[in-house]
Amino acid sequence: MEVLDHKCPSCNATLKFNPKNQKWDCEYCGKTYELNELKEFENKQNESISNNKKSNVDADVYECPNCGAKIITDENTTATFCVYCGSTSIIKNRLTEEFSPVSIIPFKTTKEQAIQAFKKFKKGKLFAPKDFSNEENIQKISGVYIPFWIYDCKVNSNIDFLATRTTSWRSGDYVYTKKDEYIVKRGGSMEFQKVPVDGSTKFDDNTMDSIEPFIYDDMVDFNMSYLSGFLSEKYDVNSNQASIRASDRINKSIIDEFKSTVKGYTFVDVNSKQIDIDTKKSDYVLFPVWMLNINYKDKTYLFAMNGQTGKMIGDIPIEKSKIFIVWLESFAIITTILSIITFIYRLFA
């Protein structure tokens, strides 16, 4: 198994991608490198690796090139950290051929910004458990490149809506209601570009949908160097499988768009539809996400932040004991205030 970690050409320390300057910084000698400089250095590394004898280790075990430790990985992991020395290791043979992404959106936010965003997200939630304030837990937030498929499609649609118009009037002691029903037809062609669907079963689809959108203006050609300092996964949902969800999203968008043009009715619903999707192109890409998992009472709570835009979603549980304590404190305060008011009233009565 070929493993690569990015070394500083000057001092051989591990390099990490810096989302702030979109370059690669060495924390030891202070030098900064552009992508073209790393490409040249990476080519030299590839030559060196190809000349080494391949080890006969299990396919899910890699050897850290920095300290030599054997680390077990999931079969879909493409970039990970060595728990012993902290180096980033990129498992190259899991990023080749069909598993080689076409493009990548590099991280735009740092770990420090993600931590501050989580603290702000949690701020004011008085009944959150202590674990959600534990600095040790918060520091475990990780930057992960999530595999996505993006689709370019042309769609021809014909949709019939059942539209209802209701009117009411009073005559004497009676109220009359009239309901008229209409079939409203809509049809046309639409083009969709880069419809995203996450390509990993590890990550909840609703969570990944919720942190969208990703801004495609920042998308660049894939290079392994962008993975330095981050975790990464390869897809385990292929393009054909993911296209089913893409079609569902496209169908919903078309229905919503056409439905928005049917105005002046009390109620509108789909009566029949014919939606033909012609997929012109599908690309495998990586998108940046900051993720934090916190376990509380045998349940894992996931927080995710778009590593490009900073949009965060998550669910914080309520600790019932805190509600009881706050209730007791409120009761004590109210009782004290009432006692003072009663005392003053009796004093001046």
Which two three-digit tokens encode residue 30?
A: 């202070």
* Pairing label, strands 312-314, 23-26: unpaired
Which two three-digit tokens encode residue 117?
A: 């965003």
Give the chain's domain count. 2
Q: Judge if 247 and 339 occupy the same domain.
A: no
Q: Judge if 280 and 339 occupy the same domain.
A: no
Q: Judge if 151 and 233 occupy the same domain.
A: yes
Range of the domain at 325: 320-349
Q: What is the mean pLDDT of residues 329-339?
A: 72
d(CA 107, CA 95): 19
Phi-psi region of 12 (alpha: psi -120 to 50; beta: other; left: phi over 0): left
Q: Judge if 226 and 281 occupy the same domain.
A: yes
- 136 belongs to a structural domain: no
120-170 pLDDT tens trace: 887 766 666 666 667 777 878 889 899 999 999 999 999 999 999 999 999
For position 3, what pLDDT does the model report? 44
- 97 belongs to a structural domain: no
Q: Judge if 210 and 341 occupy the same domain.
A: no
Q: Judge if 196 and 292 occupy the same domain.
A: yes
Which two three-digit tokens encode residue 312?
A: 């965060």
Q: Judge if 309 and 231 occupy the same domain.
A: yes
Query: What are the counts of helices (DSSP H) followed by strands (DSSP E) for the chain?
Result: 6, 16
192-241 pLDDT tens trace: 999 999 999 888 888 999 999 999 999 999 988 888 888 888 898 999 99
Q: Judge if 180 and 203 occupy the same domain.
A: yes
List, in sequence order, every beta strand (DSSP E) within the chain.
3-4, 15-18, 23-26, 32-33, 61-63, 70-72, 77-81, 88-91, 103-104, 142-171, 174-198, 220-221, 231-233, 267-296, 299-306, 312-314
- 35 belongs to a structural domain: no
d(CA 201, CA 90): 21
Asked if residue 276 has pLDDT above 80, the reply is: yes
d(CA 296, CA 317): 8
Q: Judge if 209 and 261 occupy the same domain.
A: yes
Q: Judge if 155 and 261 occupy the same domain.
A: yes
**Single pTM value for the model:** 0.74
Q: Judge if 199 and 166 occupy the same domain.
A: yes
